[in-house]
Amino acid sequence: MHLLQSILLLITVIMPSACKHGNATPSSASQDLSTAPRGKTYNDYGDYLIDVNDLLTVHVQGNKDITGQYRVSPSGYISLPLAGMVRAKGLSEMSLRDSIMIKLRPHLTGPRVSVAVTEANSYVVYFSGHVQKPGTIHLGGRTTLLQGLSLAGGWTDQKAFRVIIVRETPEGVKKRYESALDSIRLGNAYVDNFWLERGDLVIIE
């Protein structure tokens, strides 16, 4: 919960406050959810991109010393016998497999390698505001906003009027995007294909 508290504190800094002479807010505060940039959870082909703390299973045919489970370090690497340090963060299972094969070729003849994400521990989102289950939710697979809201128990206050997503841009800046809940209730806001990204903070208010 300490991480969630830190994120909430960050929001109090980045959320625009009403000006002294009215409720006007900067235009950047009213960007629709549809304008939110895609994150780095999945690539263009729908492959999950590995990140810190994910648990991986690496299998090298005929080599029990290397075959096993490895957790991605805070620096984004896994350490394998013979192969040494291999960067995993930001790679798909297939890309990491290829990297490991390249590292092993000087030591093994024609290594056959497979990689699987056993636990996608980094695919975490946070819910706050008028939801049944505020807090941290670990997502087991690619999840839409509506699916995420369902996992959070749905919104608890029918007077709530907007959903806000705080997301990190590709440049590393956290920004907020929002849509009216009425539009979602009436089906006018097509958010069924709005994918949640790791680290998203979803606020219902």
pLDDT in tens, the chain (205 residues): 444 444 444 444 334 333 333 333 333 455 888 888 888 899 989 999 999 999 999 999 999 999 999 999 999 999 999 999 999 999 999 999 999 999 999 999 999 999 999 999 999 999 999 999 999 999 989 999 889 999 999 888 877 788 999 998 878 889 999 888 777 666 655 566 789 999 999 999 9
| Tokens (6 digits) for 2 | 């300490």
Domain boundaries of the chain, sorted by first residue = 2-40+123-204, 55-119
pLDDT of residue 180: 83
Residue type, 156: T
- N- to C-terminal Cα distance for the chain? 20
Q: Which CATH class is domain 2-40+123-204?
A: alpha beta
pLDDT of residue 104: 97
pLDDT of residue 110: 93
Q: What is the pTM of this model?
A: 0.79
- How far is 141 from 120, CA to CA, in rounded Å? 8
The helix or strand, by DSSP H or E, that contains position 3, with its residue range, turns out to be helix 2-14
Q: Do the domains spanning 2-40+123-204 and 55-119 agree at the CATH topology level?
A: no
| Tokens (6 digits) for 128 | 């706050």
Q: Which fold has domain 55-119?
A: wza like fold (3.30.1950)
Q: Is 4 helix (H, G, I), strand (E, B) or coil?
A: helix
CA distances from 124 to 4, 77, 181 (A): 11, 19, 23
CA distances from 8 to 26, 40, 51, 74, 203 (A): 20, 22, 23, 23, 10
Number of H helices, E strands in the chain: 4, 10
pLDDT of residue 101: 97
- How far is 175 from 28, CA to CA, in rounded Å? 8
pLDDT of residue 3: 45
pLDDT of residue 78: 98
